Amino acid sequence: MGLQGAATRERILHEGLDLLTETGLSGVTLGALAQHAAMSKSGLFAHFSSIEEVQIELLDHMAEVSAAKVVRPAMLAAAGLPRLKALVNNWLGWTTKAGLRGGCPVAAALFELDDAEGPVRAKVLAMEAYWRGLLTQLTRQAVELGHLRADLDASQFVWELCGIYLSHHVSRRFLRDPRSEKRAQAAFAAMLDRSRSSEEENR
């Protein structure tokens, strides 16, 4: 694969990411993708070996973008609660902040692929596992540093945090409620409130 080929591949994935956020995995067809990349279906498909490979590479590309826009900036914050807060803040509505037109593809895929088997589901499962692992890790660190209660169940904390994220997604994308942002922030604040350690309570 030469220079131009690699560039085209990049362009396909870049344009495709927008499509993915707007329509979900099922909307990423060769025809639609070709139209977005302004090239023929066959010309586009020459870069991949199956539509599943396209989907998986798009998910990989999304992971790179979110790592750059969501995770890395948050890691600059001080360890413990500040870092966790920063990550959650960057996470909520991250696609919009990243200049994408639609919503989080992983959130959509969690509902789209709940029954389907195969490599795409496995990919999404791995990404979700990684993400929840990261959240759990930062939560545990906040506990260790005394920012959160010592007896806090980190897994449960993350499980509820994901609920806030999903409710925010629905509220924003389906219900189109302008108060989505406030609701999510309030929910997160309330969850932190009852998770804080006593010596940190009045700050």
CA distance 141 to 143: 5
In angstroms, what is the minimal distance from the CB of 151 to DNA? Answer: 49
Q: Is 142 a residue that touches its own copies (CB under 8 A)?
A: no
In angstroms, what is the minimal distance from the CB of 167 to its own copies? Answer: 3
User: Quick one: what does residue 111 bind among DNA, its own copies, none, with the CB cut-off 5 to 8 Å set by partner type?
Assistant: its own copies
Which has the closest alpha carbon to 150: 200, 203, 197? 197
- Interface ranges with DNA (CB under 7 A): 1-6, 8, 28-32, 39-47, 49-52
**Tokens 């509505």 found at:** 93
CA distance 74 to 112: 29
Q: Exactly one of 142, 173, 192, 196 binds its own copies (CB under 8 A); which one?
A: 173
Torsion angles phi and psi, residue 152, rounded to 5: -70, 135
**Structural tokens at position 13:** 């994935």
User: Are 173 and 103 within 8 A, CB to CB?
Assistant: yes
Q: Exactly one of 4, 99, 194, 199 binds its own copies (CB under 8 A); which one?
A: 194
Site string for its own copies, 14-53 (x = CB under 8 A): --------xxx-x---------------------------
Choose between 8 and 16: whose C-beta lies nearer to its own copies: 16
**Tokens 């927008």 found at:** 18
User: DSSP readout, 157-195?
Assistant: HHHHHHHHHHHHHIIIIIS--TTHHHHHHHHHHHHHHTT
Task: For residue 14, count CB atoms less than 10 angstroms from its CB and return exposed for 0-12, middle for 13-18, buried for 19 or more.
Answer: middle
**Structural tokens at position 35:** 């139209």
In angstroms, what is the minimal distance from the CB of 15 to DNA? Answer: 13
Choose between 99 and 118: whose C-beta lies nearer to DNA: 118
Q: Is 185 a residue that touches its own copies (CB under 8 A)?
A: no
Q: Exactly one of 52, 160, 181, 200 binds its own copies (CB under 8 A); which one?
A: 160
Which spans of this chain sit near its own copies (rule: CB under 8 A)? 22-24, 26, 102-103, 107-108, 110-115, 124-125, 128, 153, 156, 159-160, 162-171, 173-175, 183, 186-187, 190, 193-194
